Amino acid sequence: MPNEQFVGLTQSQRDRLAYVELRVRFIGEIRRQDLVSRFGIQSAAATRDIALYRDLAPNNIDYDSRGKSYVTGSDFRPIFDFPAERILAWLSQGFGDGEPTKIKSWISCEIPSRLSHPDLDTLASVTRAIHQECPLQIVYHSLSSGETEREIVPFALIDNGLRWHTRAFDRRSGDFRDFVVTRIKKTQILKGGMVLPDEQSDQDIQWTRIVELELVPHPDQPRPEITEMDYSMRDGMLRINLRAATAGYTLRKWSVDCSPDHSLRGHEYRLWLKDHLALYGVKNAVLAPGYAPVDAVRAGAECD
């Protein structure tokens, strides 16, 4: 946003204008009450803020008289330059949603950088489709199928520790799948498009199923008591509940040895999944280190 547009505005006003843009761009709508609730201002002040944003960026926001809300304009162009990390933190954690400013840290702190970031315009289309419960037309690039046109019904974002996905029903395959956001191109929200009952999140078995996993210190690592301290274990065990749709990602991120006989070697394997049968029926369990399908394990035992 050019500095001259800030002339005469307080930091609080800029924060509220940034919030208007965040809501319109990534959620697809904003109401005066959203500003009132977020910043504790009066309704009249919220009206002035929205009017000011419309003056600064007239093509970014339209009024929807039927929904009594302000929605994304047809020729939206952001006037705030948000880092991707800030947007994803706001979407996933719901705080720190004012204007991005450079603030000196109280202490030295380094956070590992991501090697890839989703395009914010693409991300905005995905998040608006999620919020508005609309189908989304995309061009998707996959390793197996190459470039394909698809219609998906997204309902959630997933951070797998390396990349951001959207969980969605894929009308091309007729199944629920994860789509890497950086591989999505040429998006179009199909407003008013019907979402069938079997395309909704409550029909996604992998999403609704919760698996309970018991993690223990890896038997081949020295000093298990240190691992217990690092992971705040109780009675030498860490119990976690995960959606089946995210279990494989989490186990890979934490380098959990999921082999039945804790056979993986290396300093990175501090944890072992005590019961590999807990992953039975989890589709993305193949991502977990050392995981072998139950049938393969049984076949190996029979051969022995």
**For residue 47, which amino acid is it?**
T
Task: List, for the chain, all residue ranges whose pLDDT scores fall below the cut of 70.
Answer: 1-6, 95-109, 294-304
Does the domain at 120-201 match CATH 1.10.10? Answer given as no
Neighbours of 281 (CB within 10 A): 13
Neighbours of 129 (CB within 10 A): 27
- CA nearest to 92, candidates 181, 31, 11: 181
Q: What is the spatial distance between Cα 153 and Cα 159, in angstroms, rounded to a whole number? A: 18
- Look over the chain and give the mean of its residue pLDDT values, rounded to a whole number: 90
Q: What is the pLDDT of residue 104?
A: 57
Domains of the chain, residue spans: 3-81, 120-201, 209-303
Q: What is the pLDDT of residue 298?
A: 44
Side-chain-side CA neighbours of residue 224 (13 Å):
14
Q: Which CATH architecture has domain 3-81?
A: Orthogonal Bundle (1.10)
Same fold, 3-81 and 120-201: no
* Inter-residue contact 157 to 164 (CB < 8 Å): yes
- CA nearest to 193, candidates 146, 132, 148, 107: 132
- Helix, strand and coil percent figures for the chain, each rounded to 5: 40, 25, 40
What pTM was computed for the model? 0.85
